Structure formats: C-alpha cells, structure tokens
Amino acid sequence: MGVSRRDFLKLSGAGMAASTLGLSLSPIEAKAEELAISHAKETTTICPYCSVGCGMIVHTLGGNIINVEGDPDHPINEGSLCPKGSSVYQLRDNKARITKPMYRAAGASAWQEVSWDWALDEIAKKTKATRDASFQATSTIKVKEKVAGLEVDTEIEAVVNRTMGIASVGSAALDNEECYLYQKFLRGLGLVYIEHQARI
C-alpha cells in the first residue's frame, strides 16, 4: 500500500501527539515485532556460502522459512551476516533452482534431465577412464646428493602415484567431516589439484 505525503504527515503527527500526550507506543511496537516469528521454530545453523562460517538462526513455520538472521551467540559473526548470507533462504525458495541432475551431451545445444543413478554412473565411468589415462606412478625429480664429499644435483625416479588429469573444486556447503572424507577420497584417487570455491 502506498503512503501519500499527506498520510505520512498524519501518521507522523499521530506519533508526535502520542508522544506529547505521554502515551507509550512500546506495547504496540513490541506486539508488531513479536508477530513475525513468535510461533516459528528456531534452528541454528552455519552459512554454507563461504569459509567464514557465520552462525545463523533460521525461523520456520509450517515447513517454510520465514526469517533468517545472524546468530548473536555465534563467536564468528556475533549476529551479523553479509548480503549473500542474508539471502540464504533463496537456496530453498527459488523457482530458478535446479534440483535434478541435468546433462548436456558433447556437441548438443540443449540440456536434458537425467536420473541420479545415471549421472553418478557416468561420473564414475569418466573419472575412472581419465584417471587410468593420466595416472603417473613415478616422476623424474631433482635431488641433492653427496658425491665424494661434494653436494651435486642429480635426477631420480620418485614414486608419485598421482593424476594431473582431474581437478576438484570443493564447496563451502560441506562440513568438516564431509571435507575430511572428500579429501581422503580425492587423495586416494591421486588428485593433486584440489581447490575450494571459498578460497578462489
């Protein structure tokens, strides 16, 4: 509803009159503040967007998010949130959000919806094929060696067990335990290029 200049002056005047007459508006203000979240469920969580890891309070009502704010008890952000964190509810309430795996075949112009089973099988197949094709068991490296009391550069064939054909860009949406398991998995495959979107 639009408020005209006249309405605004009337409202301001009413506020001034209440103040002049010694009437307190605080119970009405308190009631107005209370309404939004008074019956909502309060859940604390961590912002998934970046490595700062701000604490959040999420209010839900009937399964819907009705408010997100910084957690004042959280030692990292003490109640504040950046604009990105403040709009975190859009992760869920967003018509543009894609919730199913999409696939665009090489050379195709359109994306198609695929099942999770199919997508995971394809990722596994391509990961295995790329790793097999790019895996290096050893690599020639330079080391210092003592020869007749003198330090000289020499080359040796060192075990590296790595693949430079695959890289990983992780996500700030992962928690500590997930990151630990993910890192173990990637190192087990022999990945060297392991990055994180919050650090780029």
Binding site for ligand SF4 (CB under 6 A): 47, 49-50, 52-54, 77, 81-82, 84-85
- Is 76 or 141 the residue whose CB approaches ligand SF4 more closely? 76
Instruction: Tell me the closest approach of the beta carbon of residue 67 to ligand SF4, in angstroms.
Output: 15
Residue 122 CA to residue 43 CA, distance in Å, equals: 37
Contact 59, 65 (CB under 8 A): yes
Radius of gyration over alpha carbons of the chain, in Å?
29
**Nearest CA to 53 among 72, 83, 79, 77?**
77
Residue 72 CA to residue 54 CA, distance in Å, equals: 10
Give the CB-nearest residue to ligand SF4.
85
Residue 17 CA to residue 19 CA, distance in Å, equals: 5
The two structure tokens encoding residue 153: 């550069």
Residue 164 CA to residue 141 CA, distance in Å, equals: 16
Instruction: Tell me the closest approach of the beta carbon of residue 177 to ligand SF4, in angstroms.
Output: 18
Beta bridge partners of 136: 162
- Is 34 or 78 the residue whose CB approaches ligand SF4 more closely? 78
Residue 76 CA to residue 72 CA, distance in Å, equals: 9
Instruction: Tell me the closest approach of the beta carbon of residue 51 to ligand SF4, in angstroms.
Output: 7
- Is 165 or 170 the residue whose CB approaches ligand SF4 more closely? 170
- Is 53 or 101 the residue whose CB approaches ligand SF4 more closely? 53
Instruction: Tell me the closest approach of the beta carbon of residue 73 to ligand SF4, in angstroms.
Output: 15
- Is 48 or 165 the residue whose CB approaches ligand SF4 more closely? 48
From the CB of residue 192, how many other CB atoms can be counted at a distance below 10 Å? 14
Instruction: Tell me the closest approach of the beta carbon of residue 90 to ligand SF4, in angstroms.
Output: 13
